[in-house]
Amino acid sequence: MKLDLRRIGLAVAAPVLAIGVALILATLILLVAGDPVVAVWQVLFKAPLPRQVVAIVNEATVLYLSAVAVAIGFKMNLFNIGVDGQYRVASFAAAVFAGANFLPGWLNIAVAIVISMITGALWALIAGALKVGRGVSEVISTIMLNYIATYLVAFFLKMAAVKVEGSNATSTAVLAEDSRVPGISVNWLLATNNKIYGLIFLAIAVGFIYWFVLNKTRFGFDLRATGQSETAAVASGINVKKMVLASMVISGAAAGLVGMPLLFGQDYAYGDTVQAGLGFAGISVALLGRNHPAGMAIAALLWGYLSQISNGLQISAGVSDKLVLIIQGIIVLSVVIAYEVVRRAGLRLEQRRVASELAAQASTKTEEVAV
């Protein structure tokens, strides 16, 4: 019990430390820029409006899915920077299929989601195969694949686009009414008619599956072992190449889900106005949440909060909302440093504790200990 408290303490210490450092550094930046410090913090710490709360939860839902996709790679020491490209290719494929209305209602949605996962997985598999077959760093290949994804999707979007009267936006066919996932109304709780994405349940399910597979299955054990020590993994009989392919594919499949709440709950089509950069935000959220299913949920909410609340900065404080990007950047940087510091401190602490407990045991037994 005592050990658990210490563990939790250490786990919480790092993000709190990082956020604290980020606030201090952001204040310094404001001072240097001659911006109104007090006004800015008043805006950023103001309780969000009811409609903002819904927006925060919705943004967090999408970010969480992206973070899980990134975390699957992180757990194996793979840096899947390509979630961004993977979810865009996947969303586009799903939007084209769902927009064509081959299937009725819910079936259409379910099959489209599966298609999205498969497309994301295949796109990620390219990077996995390059790494296993040719030793290409997944960092490089996924970044390149992000660019390819951008232009490939733009190219196909032009071909698949449906012309809408009185609009120059390019987009796929709009989903039929019965192929949309209804939002969840929260007007009984909050004074707003805005709805939470129905696919929030998908995010929760993905979080649970992530936790279960990683911690409870043999596959998860192999994956974590490979991430902790590739040499020990090889000696234990794990086929590391297979694991690289498997984790890239699963990460890509999870990335395929990122765009689903947007497609079925908000945009109802894939167009050139679709939100980009979610894959990169997912990296930040995964880092901040320490690849932990609950930690990433909290981090996703924090990220959503910061980006929603930043909208008021320009109006209320006369400061660019880009300030929030700076704060987010500093949080990520400091969190990476803080985790490493806390991790090392934790290991040292435990070594010392084990040594002292053994010494105590030995002296009570009044035995000679050869340690």
Element at 184 (helix H, strand E) = strand 184-185
Angle at 68 between CA 204 and CA 272, to 5 degrees: 95
Q: Which range touches other proteins (CB under 8 A), out of 59-67, 149-157, 197-205, 227-235?
A: 227-235
Q: Which range touches other proteins (CB under 8 A), out of 220-228, 252-260, 292-300, 331-339?
A: 220-228
Q: What is the DSSP letter of 171?
A: B
Site for other proteins in 237-266 (CB under 8 A): 237-239
Nearer to other proteins, 187 or 356 (CB): 356
Q: Quick check: 218 binds other proteins (CB under 8 A)?
A: yes
Q: Report in angstroms how near the CB of residue 235 gets to other proteins at its nearest.
A: 4
Rg of the chain (C-alpha set):
23
The identity of residue 112, as a single letter, is: A
Residue 24, CB half-sphere, CA atoms under 13 Å: how many? 7
C-alpha 167/C-alpha 220 separation (Å) is: 48
Nearer to other proteins, 180 or 290 (CB): 290
Q: Quick check: 6 binds other proteins (CB under 8 A)?
A: no
**Residue of 42, 137, 273, 361 that binds other proteins (CB under 8 A):** 361
Is 185:195 a contact under the CB 8 Å cutoff? Answer: yes
Q: Report in angstroms how near the CB of residue 13 gets to other proteins at its nearest.
A: 17
Q: Quick check: 363 binds other proteins (CB under 8 A)?
A: no
Q: Quick check: 1 binds other proteins (CB under 8 A)?
A: no
Q: Report in angstroms how near the CB of residue 5 gets to other proteins at its nearest.
A: 14
Residues 6+ apart with CB under 8 A from 157: 92, 170, 171, 172, 270, 271, 272
Q: What is the DSSP letter of 187?
A: T
- Which is nearest to 282 in space by CA: 247, 332, 324? 332
Q: Which range touches other proteins (CB under 8 A), out of 41-49, 234-242, 287-295, 296-304?
A: 234-242
Measured CA distances, 335 to 284, 331, 347 (Å) = 10, 6, 18
Q: Quick check: 217 binds other proteins (CB under 8 A)?
A: yes
Nearer to other proteins, 46 or 343 (CB): 343
One-character DSSP codes across 254-293: HHHHTTHHHIIIIISS-BTTS---HHHHHHHHHHHTTT-H
Q: Quick check: 369 binds other proteins (CB under 8 A)?
A: yes
Nearer to other proteins, 189 or 370 (CB): 370
Q: Quick check: 235 binds other proteins (CB under 8 A)?
A: yes
Q: Which range touches other proteins (CB under 8 A), out of 43-51, 116-124, 226-234, 297-305?
A: 226-234
What are the structure tokens assigned to 26, written together? Answer: 């952001």
359 three-class SS: helix
**Total number of residues binding other proteins (CB under 8 A)?**
34
**Residue of 221, 246, 321, 329 that binds other proteins (CB under 8 A):** 221
C-alpha 303/C-alpha 60 separation (Å) is: 7
Binding mask 317-356 for other proteins (x = CB under 8 A): ------------------------------xx-xx-xxx-
Residue 45 backbone phi and psi in degrees, to 5: -100, 5
Q: Report in angstroms how near the CB of residue 352 gets to other proteins at its nearest.
A: 8
Measured CA distances, 126 to 2, 114, 203, 250, 283 (Å) = 46, 19, 25, 13, 20
Nearer to other proteins, 345 or 355 (CB): 355
Nearer to other proteins, 36 or 220 (CB): 220
Q: Which residues in this chain contact other proteins in the complex, by CB under 8 A? A: 3, 215-222, 224-225, 228-229, 231-232, 234-239, 347-348, 350-351, 353-355, 357-358, 361, 369-371
